[in-house]
Every structure is written in C-alpha cells, then in structure tokens.
Amino acid sequence: MNHMYCGLEGEPLNIGNGKTSSAVYDILCDIASHPEKKLYSNIVFAGIEYTKLTPQNLTTILEMENVIVLLDEVGAIMHNSHKISPACKKHEHEGLCYDIVQFSRQLRKRKIEAYYTAQSLYDTQAQLRKMMNRVVYCQKYGIVNGMLKKCTQDTCVPDHIHYIRQLDRMTMKESYIDISKVYQYYDSSEIVSGYWNLTSIKRQGRYFLLLKMVLRERKDLSLTILFCGKAGMTGYIAVDLNQ
C-alpha cells in the first residue's frame, strides 16, 4: 500500500507541518504491530533497526515480503513535471524515476507498505501520484491555554507540545496525533538527497535558475543545494557534498 503525507495546497505554513513526523509515527505503529517487518528509509533513524534506502537496493526490495519503506521528500527526487523513463540520466542511478514508479505499482504483491512525504500532493510526479492508496494532509497544532491551536510559524516556542492533524483525503476522516516522542527517532533537520547527477543538469536558456545556498559549514564538510528548473515550477534539486 502507498501512503502519501503532504501539506494542504494553499496553506501559508506548508513547510515544517509534521509530514515526516506523521509518517514516522505511523511507521512506528506499524512496526509495533508487526515487529517482523524490516524497515528501509532514505532518512537516518535512531534507536530503531533500519537499512538505508538507496537507488541500488530499491528494486531488490520487491523480491522481499513484509517490508516497510520510507521515501522522504519524494518531490525532491522527481518533481511534478519530471518525465519518467528507464533511460533517464538525471539521477546518479540511471532510470531511478522509472524504478520508483514501478516499485509503487508492484509493492502490493509483496505486502510492502511504502510511506512518502512531499510539500504538497501536486509537487509530486503525476504517475507516482496516481499510485497513492492513501493521501494524508498534515497540519501542525499546539496546546495553548489547554486548547489545540493551529501553528502559524515553523519554529515554535521550546515548550510547545505539538499535535499533528491528519486529514485522510479519501475518507475525510481526521485525527490528532501526539508526536512529542517521535522526534527522538529521527533528525528533523536532516537534508534529504535527491540522488541527482550534477553533471546532467544543463542550462535551459532564460529559464535556467541556479541557487547556491550554504546551509551549514564545518571545517571538514560543506553542504550545498543546487536548484535548477523553469521559473514558477518546482525544479530539479541536487545535493553536493564536498569533503
């Protein structure tokens, strides 16, 4: 089954809205109920056994059963206008976009649960979007004067106890989950790689846009994000680690 966690389109706060924490929460519940399941994830987990999800081992997972897969920030890997092809060379692994879509089509045959996150549903590639069995819209709330109040900024006060409102797009059923104990299992500030092949990114005339942001600098590591795409559209995201 394919699960997508995303923000509501048009929401003023659509970043840091509890999408990843919601997915992690549901994954932890799944593992608690089925401890025999093996977890693969493209983000780092702490205090729980998992295997790093890579472009190389994605297709081999289809040979297994009772597996849980987390693909965080899938829109950073294949944006909404990305053209799917087994010969696509825009990633470090040729045809990765095709492999992801094929994986989403076939996983039900192996009792695999796949959890994806994206900034919004329409930030994701159309073929992948159609494969979603469950879409969950996430909104962050906090307890203020004993009542739940919707958060209006990404960074809240330190003692803010967060609850995430989950709205199921298919059933319109809503629930509120306490994620205060979820943060210990993953790093919410981790930068997710888009697996992009930097040498494949080419200039596109007046539509070319290159943003270079140094998010963190250390003596042994510099982290740079490159963004390239058409104006007004989600672009290609690539992560370049220089050591």
pLDDT in tens, 11-61: 665 567 889 999 999 999 999 999 999 999 999 999 999 999 998 898 899
Q: Are strands 162-168 and 174-178 parallel, antiparallel or unpaired?
A: antiparallel
Is the pLDDT higher at 191 or at 187?
A: 187
pTM of the model: 0.79
Query: What confidence category does residue 180 fall into, taking pLDDT thresholds of 50, 70 and 90?
Result: confident
- Would you tell me which CATH number, out of the four given (3.40.50, 3.10.450, 3.30.530, 2.40.128), belongs to the domain 2-185? 3.40.50
CA separation, residue 144 to residues 18, 159, 210 (Å): 18, 11, 41
9 or 184: whose pLDDT is higher?
184
Per DSSP, the three-state class of 75 is: helix
Of 9 and 204, which is predicted with more confidence?
9
The DSSP string of 170-203 is: TT--EEEEE-TTTGGGB-TTPPPP--B-GGG---
Kindly state the percentage of the chain with pLDDT values over 70.
75
The 10s digit of each residue's pLDDT in 104-146 is 999 988 889 999 999 889 889 999 999 999 999 999 888 877 8
Instruction: Delimit the domains of the chain by residue range.
Output: 2-185, 201-242
The rounded distance, in Å, linking the Cα atoms of 106 and 111 is 10
